[in-house]
Amino acid sequence: MIEKYIKKFKGYDISIHHTQEVLDESKIQNNKVDNINSSEKEEYFITVYSKKGIGFVKSTVLNENVIRRAIKLSKINSDLKYYHGLPKADDTKNKRFYDKKLYNLSLEDIHKLSKEILKQRKHHISEGSVSRELTKHSIANSNGLFKEETKTYFSYDLSYVNKSTNFTDFGSYSYFPDLFSEIKKNSNALKFYSQRRVKKFSKNIVFSLKTLNELLSHAFLDNFSYENIEKGQSLLDFKKKFQFNTKFSLINDGTLKNGLFSSNFDHEGVRKSKSYLIRNGKVNSFLFNYNAAKEYGFKPGGNAYYSSVLPNNIVIRTDKFEPEEYIFIEEITGAHTANSVTTEFSILVNKAKHVSKEGTKPLKPFMINSSMISLFNNLRGSFDKEDVDLNLVSKKLVFSDVNLIYWSSRY
């Protein structure tokens, strides 16, 4: 059906992205399954290029009037700096980026999982959810490109409460995880952090993948967006390659097996690939859409998302370094207040512990202020097994020379 409308408007550069979503979800409230629900969503995203600008239209239906509206907007807008055409069709064989177990998971199965979680709980669950999403999307353009694929997602979100504190456990996956093993990882967190014993000082800082992912999202990765570089809202540029003091690699991979953002193609139909944003400490590439990559002489990597660009799966690799002792930061507040241009941040550490040969001790809350540039300039290495948080894949990274601020002089 999409191709029919594109053929109807010959002479225009048109791209149409079509998405169909089915969401099966179970809601938990006060240790009971509150409700189960299945919902469907369908959306079209039409892009039209003219000599002057670009026209974007989102719609729940596709017809000639919707496309005419996008054509009209492309003629009104005057923000098109460059245009090198639309992506062409390619013959590369598609990979399967969906889990058959999730594909066949029913609403009844989701309900059973929720009841099993409640049966095995050790603490009061104030609220939570368990869901499965099935997404089918396709892309067609006036250059003869047509692609389609299926994706599956699974997620859970549980808020536990006891007399002294609360704890939120959540996860999102492109595959069906060993759910109870995932939940069990944090089963003793409430009891552990209720003790709140005073710390022992350390110069080695290790962030959990969850907290590191928050900092990367709010205080670092925006610098790699071509849009921010063009606007002067990035500390990077396309010609002068930024060099860190340490050797590490930051990989943008849209083809990673079981990666949350793995896919065969992006919202423009460009095939996703693996690229090094940073290689051995040197900035190597950026996040582009098709036309921006062509403009600046880079290979398109499949990072277009609607009218913007986003990273795919982020993989961090560095040399091995295992510290004798370190502070492990597990939960932070305030990452969203970070300066995405300078990469500076000042955050509250809610949950952390000191880890050494003598054992593990919980720490009282404290503050950290630093920058992502400083963190990576003082990256000592990594240890333990590679793990995943949403779209971030990494071993535990060890940073030094981080400014820790406590409300007590006692260490």
Taken as a whole, the chain contains a residue count of 411
Question: Which residues neighbour 272 within 8 Å (Cβ) at sequence distance 6 or greater?
Answer: 254, 255, 262, 263, 264, 265, 266, 301, 302, 312
Question: Which residues neighbour 232 within 8 Å (Cβ) at sequence distance 6 or greater?
Answer: none
DSSP assigned state of 387: E
Q: How far is CA 49 from CA 77, 228, 323, in A?
A: 10, 21, 54
What per-residue confidence (pLDDT) applies to 293?
Answer: 95
Q: Which residues of the chain have pLDDT under 70?
A: 163-165, 185-202, 406-411
Rounded CA-CA distance 299/364 in Å is 48
Residue 227 belongs to what H/E stretch?
A: helix 226-230
Q: How far is CA 279 from CA 90, 173, 305, in A?
A: 28, 27, 24
Tokens of 248: 């590490």
Do residues 404 and 366 touch, judged by C-beta distance below 8 A? Answer: yes
What structural domains does the chain harbor? 2-191 (3.30.2290.10), 195-411 (no CATH)
Tokens of 406: 């406590």
Question: Which residues neighbour 243 within 8 Å (Cβ) at sequence distance 6 or greater?
Answer: 281, 282, 283
What per-residue confidence (pLDDT) applies to 406?
Answer: 66
Question: How does the average pLDDT of the chain come out, rounded?
Answer: 90
Alpha helices in 14-154 (DSSP H): 64-76, 100-103, 107-120
Do residues 74 and 51 touch, judged by C-beta distance below 8 A? Answer: no
330-338: long-range contacts (C-beta < 8 A, 24 or more apart)? Answer: 330/208, 330/210, 330/211, 331/208, 331/210, 331/211, 332/211, 332/214, 332/215, 332/368, 335/211, 335/214, 335/215, 335/217, 335/218, 335/219, 336/218, 337/218, 338/215, 338/218, 338/219
Rounded CA-CA distance 366/356 in Å is 19
Do residues 140 and 6 touch, judged by C-beta distance below 8 A? Answer: yes
What per-residue confidence (pLDDT) applies to 187?
Answer: 57
How do beta strands 326-333 and 205-207 pair? parallel
What per-residue confidence (pLDDT) applies to 196?
Answer: 47
What per-residue confidence (pLDDT) applies to 198?
Answer: 41
Rounded CA-CA distance 218/334 in Å is 10
Q: How far is CA 17 from CA 124, 299, 309, in A?
A: 43, 22, 15
